[in-house]
Amino acid sequence: MEIRLMIPSAEGVRPMSLSVTMRTPGNDFELAAGFLLTEGIIQGRKDIEQIAYCVDPDVEQEFNIVSVSLRPGTSFDPALVERHFYTTSSCGVCGKATIEAVRVRHIPKIPTDSPRVSHRVIGRLGNELRESQHIFARTGSLHAAGLFDAEGMLLSVREDVGRHNAVDKVIGQQLLANRLPLSATVLMVSGRASFEILQKAAVAGVPFVVAVGAPSNLAVDVAKEFGMTLVGFAHGDSFNIYAGGHRLIDLPEREADGGGAQRRPRMAVGTLGGSLDVS
């Protein structure tokens, strides 16, 4: 899908092709809105005047081109607009994996101690997400992102061949409904926790991210930098805590093993390359 930005100027409206992404059709407007927000092109819902499929008479309508019209007076960084993005289903946007690039964005203040989430809730999220993956149930081939409240109630779920796209769709849905920042929510993703996913969560104000797979080193760094909680390898009651463990409550008491290491039944405090899963 191509995302075109319609930029108002004194000379009229100037179209610019901003991104081409491999995606699963559906919720395309949410994908476009979420992408623009999490990549720093827009600051909020107020910057968007209209989102529509391209109706160029010279282009056959295949619903693969989405045009986003910026509201007149919207301020943005021309350098971001002029640099084209190419996103893939596997690695997201390439060439910008630095924490400094996130730090200069408009990041909502993430609450220091909330939401507080029971480890029992973490154990339920995976099943809740899987049961809501209706396309995955038929194909077995899509990622998903789910937004939950602190009690584990599912607020939104989106599926896509790209896990970054699924996150953008969830965030875009909340953006268009004027529900940002998402400071009381938990985001769960069906794959690994990459730098890009943590970056997108931070921009949307999400304080708590849970992944079925492993986090990258940069993802852990982003979580620590912005005071987020990051949980990986979440499979039922087994999971690793990589950052922000203070938001988890009702954790089993740690037990010392024979070598003096601190252990928790069915979970571990993890550091990349050295985490201990004692499930």
Tens-binned pLDDT, residue by residue, of the chain (279 aa): 999 999 888 788 888 888 888 999 999 999 999 999 998 899 999 999 999 998 767 767 778 999 999 999 887 666 665 554 545 445 544 434 467 767 656 788 899 989 999 999 999 999 898 887 777 657 766 899 999 999 999 999 999 999 999 999 999 999 999 999 999 999 999 999 999 999 999 999 999 999 999 999 999 999 999 999 999 999 988 999 999 999 999 888 764 344 443 334 345 555 444 333 333
Q: Closest Cα partner for 204 from 10, 33, 65?
A: 33
Residue keyed to tokens 């038929």: 138
| Measured CA distances, 155 to 149, 152, 233, 271 (Å) | 7, 9, 22, 30
Structure tokens at 106: 């408009």
Structure tokens at 258: 């024979």
Give yes or no: residues 86 and 137 share one domain.
no
| Measured CA distances, 105 to 77, 98, 171 (Å) | 11, 12, 16
Within a domain: 73:
yes
Strands (E), 161-237: 185-189, 208-211, 229-235
Give the rounded distance of the alpha carbon of 108 from its chain centre. 15
Domain of 29, CATH number, reads 3.10.20.10
Model pLDDT, residue 17: 87
Give yes or no: residues 247 and 163 share one domain.
yes
Helical packing angle, 195-203 and 217-225, nearest 10°: 20
Domain of 126, CATH number, reads 3.40.140.10
Give yes or no: residues 121 and 66 share one domain.
no
Name the pTM for this structure: 0.84
**Helix then strand then coil, % of the chain, to nearest 5:** 30, 30, 40
Within a domain: 35:
yes
Within a domain: 110:
no
Model pLDDT, residue 278: 30
Who contacts 268 (Cβ-Cβ below 8 Å, separation ≥6)?
Answer: 240, 241, 275, 276, 277, 278
Range of the domain at 85: 2-97
Structure tokens at 97: 């994996």
Number of domains in the chain: 2
Q: Which H or E element spans position 242?
A: strand 238-243
Residue 229's identity, in one-letter code, is: T
What is the number of alpha carbons within 13 Å of residue 20 lying toward its C-beta?
Answer: 2
Q: Closest Cα partner for 34 from 145, 147, 169?
A: 169
Model pLDDT, residue 273: 43
Give yes or no: residues 62 and 169 share one domain.
no
Give yes or no: residues 131 and 79 share one domain.
no
Of the residues 67, 97, 127, the one at which a domain ends: 97
- In angstroms, the CA 243 to CA 235 distance is 18
Q: Are strands 48-53 and 85-88 parallel, antiparallel or unpaired?
A: unpaired
Give yes or no: residues 63 and 125 share one domain.
no
Known active-site residue 94: no
- Check 16, 59, 91, 261 and give the catalytic one: 91
Within a domain: 236:
yes
Give yes or no: residues 263 and 129 share one domain.
yes
